[in-house]
């Protein structure tokens, strides 16, 4: 008897573990605030301004789209393993390059290493497990992609306190905090290469729970064992190419949903510590602790909302993500109670992560899994746009006058207006290729779930 890990269904759990490991490594990018604080310290040789200290991270977020665009296209052509290995190597190499910076004159090295190379490598590695795991888990796409990107959210939770301890361990590291990047980059490289080494797409005709046929088995007996609960083959229905997907309004609507959610959520994330201090009266240490704990909710939200979307549908999930996020943003500048502030902050972080956990499976529901890497990779331009626009918008609105009510009212209303997007977003037909569809064809597209039940996609806009 062969080991379960040698079978397709057994291997998928190993692939999931590898995906989470890769996401943990690259998710450490969100620990930048720890380094930004150290680089602004009077004890460091850098003494950067707030604006200068923010540039490497802003560049990294902006470059993620370049990596996801390239990674999505290359993965569909070359397979997941070489793309993930390349992404992890570029990302880790960029982090280690940043370790060579020694003073403010070397800021360009931080921007090139942590920002440009780190962002592109991150994008290359990030998109691979999201697309690949949906092929291995067609029966629970939302939950599994949520777990994968949840690892990304948890990366900073692990890295931030570790980096803080390393920087504070010696006067040399306090003066040159960038030296920490060498050791962290090596750790990212080892963990990422280990995780990516098990990546591969499922075999042709793969079905959940179905193993290679036993040649000695009676064929008629096998036929009798087929039930309605057998999962559908990977790629059932027409799979849109990237070009076909981009000719549909649905691609732009889904990208806009991500952009709005990221813009609203990261507006709070970018100034969470200052808001906690100025609005709810947290101490500096208390605000730093809050930000660290909230990282757990960022990761948990990716898993929670993805699992919820599998149960209640994608449209109700996005309505909840945008609606709850908007209401919490409107309320938080008026909240002086510490406990209530923490609850509202947790809701914002949960919803911010939730969009990343829910959108990949939604895109696959709409366009199929075969080219999902390229299609979703291009959608992540919404991450780059929102990741840059959100912090700039909120910092401009709040300003030196600490106008938190104005700032969060604007971004809260933005999220609530965004609730209209999932209401008007209906999936394209997948029963025929786009060019074969005609206006006279009025039969609703149907899809078969893992439980064997079919449903009309046009009657259920976001499945």
Q: What tens digit of pLDDT does each residue of 335-365 get?
A: 989 999 999 999 999 999 999 989 988 988 8
The number of CA neighbours under 13 Å toward the Cβ of 457 is: 20
Tell me what pLDDT residue 412 has: 96
Query: Contact, 24 vs 151, CB < 8 A?
Result: yes
The winner for highest mean pLDDT among 54-68, 140-154, 209-223, 320-334 is 320-334
Q: What distance in Å separates the CA atoms of residue 29 and residue 60, rounded to the nearest whole number?
A: 8
Q: What distance in Å separates the CA atoms of residue 356 and residue 23, rounded to the nearest whole number?
A: 13
Enter the tokens of residue 186: 């090596």
Query: Contact, 367 vs 239, CB < 8 A?
Result: yes
Using the predicted structure, report yes or no on whether residue 223 has a pLDDT greater than 50: no
Closest CA to 102 of 47, 141, 51, 56: 47
- CA 386-388-391 angle, 5° bins: 95
**By mean pLDDT, which of 18-27, 47-56, 92-101, 300-309 is the weakest?**
47-56
Tell me what pLDDT residue 18 has: 93
Concatenating the DSSP letter of every residue in 141-154 gives: HHHHHHHHHHHHHH
Tell me what pLDDT residue 400 has: 74
As to burial, measured by CB atoms within 10 angstroms (0-12 exposed, 13-18 middle, 19+ buried), residue 102 is middle
Average pLDDT over every residue of 421-433: 81
Tell me what pLDDT residue 338 has: 93
- CA 194-305-364 angle, 5° bins: 70
Confidence bin at 36 (pLDDT 50/70/90): confident
Sorted by where each starts, the structural domains of the chain and their CATH numbers stand as 1-203 (1.20.1250.20), 237-432 (1.20.1250.20)
Enter the tokens of residue 349: 């972080």
Q: What distance in Å separates the CA atoms of residue 297 and residue 351, rounded to the nearest whole number?
A: 9
First-to-final CA distance of the chain: 39
Q: What tens digit of pLDDT does each residue of 147-194 get?
A: 888 888 788 788 888 888 888 888 899 899 999 999 999 999 999 999
Tell me what pLDDT residue 324 has: 97
Confidence bin at 322 (pLDDT 50/70/90): very high
Tell me what pLDDT residue 204 has: 79
Q: How many beta carbons lie within 10 A of that of residue 109, not counting itself?
A: 18
Q: What tens digit of pLDDT does each residue of 236-261 get?
A: 567 898 889 999 999 999 999 999 99
Tell me what pLDDT residue 79 has: 87
Task: Pinpoint the alpha helices (H) of 313-337.
Answer: 314-331
Q: What tens digit of pLDDT does each residue of 6-33 get?
A: 455 667 889 999 999 999 999 888 778 7
Tell me what pLDDT residue 457 has: 40
Q: What is the CA radius of gyration of the chain?
A: 23
Q: What distance in Å separates the CA atoms of residue 63 and residue 122, rounded to the nearest whole number?
A: 9
Q: What distance in Å separates the CA atoms of residue 404 and residue 397, rounded to the nearest whole number?
A: 8
Q: What distance in Å separates the CA atoms of residue 62 and residue 316, rounded to the nearest whole number?
A: 30
Using the predicted structure, report yes or no on whether residue 425 has a pLDDT greater than 80: yes
Using the predicted structure, report yes or no on whether residue 433 has a pLDDT greater than 70: no
For the chain, what is the mean pLDDT? 81
Using the predicted structure, report yes or no on whether residue 452 has a pLDDT greater than 80: no
Comparing 76 with 404, the larger pLDDT belongs to 404
Tell me what pLDDT residue 438 has: 40
The pTM of the full predicted model, rounded to 2 decimals, is 0.73
Q: What distance in Å separates the CA atoms of residue 247 and residue 155, rounded to the nearest whole number?
A: 36
Enter the tokens of residue 448: 């078969």
Q: What tens digit of pLDDT does each residue of 364-407 get?
A: 889 988 888 788 888 989 988 998 888 888 888 988 788 899 99
**By mean pLDDT, which of 127-136, 255-264, 398-407, 430-439 is the weakest?**
430-439
């Amino acid at each position: 008897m062969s080991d379960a890990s040698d079978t397709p269904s057994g291997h998928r759990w190993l692939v999931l573990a590898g995906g989470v490991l890769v996401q943990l490594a690259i998710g450490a990018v969100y620990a930048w605030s720890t380094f930004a604080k150290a680089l602004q310290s009077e004890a460091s040789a850098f003494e950067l301004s707030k604006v200068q200290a923010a540039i490497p991270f802003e560049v990294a977020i902006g470059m993620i789209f370049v990596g996801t665009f390239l990674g999505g296209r290359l993965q569909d052509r070359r397979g997941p393993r070489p793309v993930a290995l390349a992404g992890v190597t570029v990302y880790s190499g960029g982090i280690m390059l940043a370790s060579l910076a020694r003073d403010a004159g070397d800021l360009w090295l931080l921007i090139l290493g942590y920002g440009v190379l780190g962002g592109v490598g991150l994008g290359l590695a990030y998109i691979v497990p999201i697309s690949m795991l949906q092929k291995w888990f067609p029966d629970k796409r939302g939950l599994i992609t949520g777990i994968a990107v949840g690892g990304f959210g948890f990366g900073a939770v692990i890295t931030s306190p570790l980096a803080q301890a390393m920087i504070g361990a010696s006067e040399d590291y306090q003066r040159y905090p960038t030296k920490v990047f060498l050791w962290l980059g090596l750790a990212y490289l080892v963990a990422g290469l280990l995780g990516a080494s098990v990546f591969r797409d499922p075999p042709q005709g793969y079905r959940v729970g179905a193993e290679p046929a036993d040649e000695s088995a009676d064929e008629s007996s096998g036929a009798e064992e087929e039930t309605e609960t057998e999962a559908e083959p990977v790629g059932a229905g027409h799979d849109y190419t990237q070009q076909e997907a981009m000719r549909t309004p649905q691609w732009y609507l889904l990208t806009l949903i991500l952009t709005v959610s990221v813009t609203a959520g990261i507006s709070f994330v970018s100034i969470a510590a200052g808001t906690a201090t100025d609005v709810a009266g947290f101490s500096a240490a208390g605000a730093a602790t809050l930000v660290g704990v909230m990282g757990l909710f960022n990761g948990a939200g990716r898993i929670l909302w993805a699992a919820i979307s599998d149960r209640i549908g994608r449209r109700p999930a996005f309505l909840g993500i945008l609606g709850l996020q908007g209401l919490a943003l409107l309320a938080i500048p008026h909240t002086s109670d510490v406990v209530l502030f923490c609850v509202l902050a947790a809701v914002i972080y949960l919803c911010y992560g939730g969009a990343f956990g829910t959108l990949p499976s939604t895109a696959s529901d709409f366009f199929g899994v075969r080219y999902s890497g390229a299609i979703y990779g291009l959608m992540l331009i919404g991450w780059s746009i929102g990741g840059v626009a959100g912090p700039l918008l909120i910092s401009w609105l709040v300003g030196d006058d600490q106008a938190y009510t104005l700032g969060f009212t604007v971004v809260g209303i933005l999220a609530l207006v965004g609730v209209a997007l999932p209401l008007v977003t209906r999936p394209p037909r997948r029963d025929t290729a786009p060019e074969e569809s005609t206006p006279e064809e009025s039969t609703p597209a149907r899809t078969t779930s893992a439980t064997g039940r079919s449903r009309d996609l046009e009657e259920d806009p976001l499945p």
